[in-house]
Amino acid sequence: MKSKNLLKNCYIYVRKYIRFYRLLKHTLFYVIGFKSSEYLSPPAELPVIGHFDRKMLIQVDKKYQKYFSDENLSLDSDKRPSYKKNKVVLIVDNGEVLVRKNFTGFRRYNDFYSELLCYEKIAHLDLTPEIVYVDFKKCQIYMKYIDGINLSTRRLGIHEIVKLNEELIQGWFKKIVRNLHDNGIIFNDLSGRNVILKNDKLYVFDFSDAIYFDDKLLKLYPVKRFFLKLVSVERKKMKEELEILGLQ
């Protein structure tokens, strides 16, 4: 019993240390500003074609109707279109549609840098939308829009779509989770709503709740143990999510 409590306390302290480490690191990035040189700043006055939020869809121009099609929308409890919980703005940059994600509130800088670090870490794997611009002052990330099917269980007809792509979705889910863990990332919010199916491939997005463990941290034994514990939990979560989608 004592050893169990000791292990539990160890996990609590490790988690607090990691959170403090992340906050300190992200704060230094913001104060020093040296990360900003690695990304292009967005041009001023990029036209907004519309945005999704939890309760409504605001559309600016009818010629962009296809970006708000039923393939990318689901129905909320009040029967209004919904893309995801947080507001996502779609903009046009020289004819190309981009997603602009804003980070606001208490966790603004921590979540912003956490997501950016995760995208950087696995950018070479082509599992995420490509980052085009980053606005460090406003804490905004601009990514290429992936015109595919969001696997949210709220989407009408999602179980039929999943059944038609059963082996594909199972294989890609497992591949994504394996690659995230191999690169020290615990996603922490693994569900179909953060995954898009396009051209026989799955893409994952929204790392604002993720925890990134760099190589230096993972060399510390308590941190490594804590990381492996989280890996085990997330694998179980993946199986549960596949069951929710009608698989496994």
- Written as one string, the DSSP assignment of 183-242 is TTEE-S--SGGGEEE-SS-EEE---TT-EE--HHHHTSHHHHHHHHHHHHHHHHHHHHHH
**Is there a contact between 116 and 134 (Cβ–Cβ < 8 Å)?**
yes
Contacts of 153 (CB under 8 A, 6+ apart): 192, 193, 244, 245
| Per-residue pLDDT of the chain in tens (248 residues, 90 and over written 9) | 555 566 556 656 666 666 666 666 666 665 655 555 578 899 988 888 876 554 444 444 556 656 665 555 544 444 444 444 446 688 889 888 898 988 877 667 678 888 888 998 999 999 999 999 998 888 889 999 888 888 887 777 888 889 999 999 999 999 999 999 999 999 988 888 889 899 899 999 888 888 888 888 888 888 898 899 899 999 999 999 999 888 86
Please write the tens of the pLDDT for every residue from 79-126.
Answer: 444 444 446 688 889 888 898 988 877 667 678 888 888 998 999 999
CA distance 58 to 70: 15
CA distance 15 to 186: 13
Q: Which of 71, 90, 114, 89 is nearest to 206 (CA)?
A: 114
Contacts of 137 (CB under 8 A, 6+ apart): none
Domain ranges of the chain: 2-244
pLDDT of residue 82: 43
